Amino acid sequence: MATDKPRRPRAETPKGFRDYFGAEVTTRRDMLAAIAEVYHRYGFDPLETSAVETVESLGKFLPDVDRPNEGVFAWQDEDADWLALRYDLTAPLARVAAQHRNDLPSPYRRYAFGPVWRNEKPGPGRFRQFYQCDADTVGSSSMAADAEICAMLSDALEAVGIERGDYLIKINNRKVLNGVMEVAGLSGDDREAERGIVLRAIDKLDRLGLDGVRALLGAGRKDDSGDFTKGAGLADSQIETIISFMEAKRETGTATTACLRDLVATSETGSAGVQELETISELLAAQGYGPDRIIIDPSVVRGLGYYTGPVYEAELTFEIPDDKGRKRQFGSVAGGGRYDDLVKRFTGQSVPATGVSIGVDRLLAALQAKGRLTATAQGPVVVTVMDRDRMADYMAMVGELRTAGIRAECYLGNPKNFGNQLKYADKRGSPIAIIHGGTEAENGTVILKDLILGARIAQGATLEEWKNRPAQIEVPRADLVAQVRQMLGQ
């Protein structure tokens, strides 16, 4: 009787996840290192938290999810406690700030970067695991903390290669928005559902335009595919109040805040929000951050429910072609705001906090679009193996190169076919292959094959280039490191 063979596991990544290889990983590492240097210069300390938190600790603030604890990867452990992978880096910070409040300085400045996980439906460019890079100040209610976060974000974007003029950091205030809701008659617990629709409608201004937002504030909107989205059902006067808020942006921050002040004049909360925006503008202007980098923009909403004051978003303003070749602005790569009630969940006492989160993958894609990143990273110098019995000689060469700070490796596959060794070096992106056969050993020399120039010659390098720097040279064995350095331009 035949028995079924055990089924081999499929070699595939889970749906919504992906693998990252050499150049992608090193490029991300270098970008994060540049951002970390800016954060460090501002006095922020690094923090690493566990990838796993209790579901109770994470709370119900997952973006874009209506019901608590949806959208997270959660499980019950042997003690019947529910645990989950973190969905962002802010909720763990709130737990840390509460747990270690007697040991941490106050205010506490921290930055963190790492993967987060969301159990949501994946789509093109939307993965269930992705990287975030955050910076937060916990324990300060001063608007100087918010201004500092915005200034630091501006410096970080420029540090990684986003030039001034290619980005804008836009600031709004949830208190102003709450004041507008109050003026429009939408305050109170019984109007929470309507406020949610209004917030989502405002957030879609860039995509739908004023007419589309107006429809969502009213009866609803049917898109090009025929799908209907139910609206907030507001009266015309309420809609006009919201639209006036969205159109309040003026040429200068001073003019914008003056317009907002008139709009929320009857709301104490709204007026307090306008005052905070004016303070932030003054503090940024004093440091030289003008409207070419940071502006007040009432259209910024931010989706998270825990924001209580200023909110901000970094938008890249340069254009890229979409899937159909049409030009469109790149869009947002970072956002954040003030969340004074998040730590209160643990302590029972209000602890002011503000921070920003950079979408690492989005920013990497932006740098790629701007040509700030190369598609491949330079591989190691490869020492080829011509004689198995002289492996110690080859490893000695590798050791010398590594000691000199040069990335190098010895070919560890089957050395029988030399052509395969060169193919391997090419696949590794190696700049130089080192050849040391029997003849070279007798002569006390090594051959250095310039793989980069060799590829360019194959594509049609100039005769002058070939004469000045031949694709293969033979040098004394003692000059190996010096010659490699020269060829690498070190």
Average pLDDT estimate for 127-134: 93
Cβ atoms of 98 and 347 closer than 8 Å: yes
State the Cα–Cα distance between residues 280 and 173, nearest whole angstrom. 11
70 has a pLDDT exceeding 70: no
- Amino acid 67: pLDDT: 46
Predicted local confidence at residue 227, as pLDDT: 81
**Per-residue pLDDT at 478 exceeds 60:** yes
Average pLDDT over residues 340-363: 90
Dihedrals phi, psi of 394, to nearest 5 degrees: -65, -40
* Range scoring the smallest mean pLDDT among 71-80, 111-120, 434-443: 71-80
Decide if pLDDT at 461 tops 50: no
Instruction: Provide the pLDDT confidence category of residue 68 given band limits of 50, 70 and 90.
Output: very low
Note the pLDDT of residue 323. Answer: 65
pLDDT value for 95? 94
Percent over 70 (pLDDT), the chain? 91
pLDDT at 2 over 60: no
Minimum mean pLDDT among 141-145, 339-343, 462-466: which range?
462-466
Q: What is the pLDDT of residue 98?
A: 94
Mean pLDDT value of segment 201-228: 81
Residues near 51 by Cβ (< 8 Å), separated by ≥ 6? 85, 86, 114, 115, 117
Average pLDDT rounded to a whole number, residues 450-466: 58
134-190 pLDDT, tens digit per residue, is 999 999 999 999 999 999 999 999 999 999 999 999 999 999 988 988 888 888 877
Domains (range + CATH), the chain:
22-369 (3.30.930.10), 381-488 (3.40.50.800)
Average pLDDT of 94-106? 94
Q: How confident is the model at residue 463 (pLDDT cuts 50, 70, 90)?
A: very low
Mean pLDDT over the full length of the chain? 87
What is the tens place of the pLDDT at every residue in 276-303? 999 999 999 999 999 999 999 988 887 6
Residue 292 and residue 165 in contact, taking contact as beta carbons nearer than 8 Å: yes
pLDDT for the residue 66: 47
Which of the two residues, 155 and 252, has the higher pLDDT score?
Answer: 155
Question: What pLDDT is attached to residue 466?
Answer: 43
In the prediction, which pLDDT does 245 show? 85
Pairwise pLDDT comparison (227 vs 154), residue with the higher score: 154
Q: What is the mean pLDDT of residues 199-227?
A: 81
Predicted local confidence at residue 142, as pLDDT: 96
Q: At what angle do helices 480-488 and 391-403 cross, to 10 degrees?
A: 50
The Cα–Cα gap between 481 and 406 comes to 9
Q: Tell me, what's the pLDDT at 333? A: 93
Asked if pLDDT for residue 338 goes beyond 50, the answer is: yes
**Given a cut of 60, is residue 48 above it in pLDDT?**
yes
Confidence (pLDDT) at 191:
81
CA atoms of 221 and 213, how far apart (whole Å): 9
Q: Which residue has the higher pLDDT, 404 or 122?
A: 404
* Residue 462's pLDDT band (cuts 50, 70, 90): low
- Burial class of residue 306 (count of CB atoms within 10 Å of its CB; 0-12, 13-18, 19+): buried
pLDDT recorded at residue 307: 86
Among 303, 313, 370, 375, residue whose Cα is nearest residue 22: 375
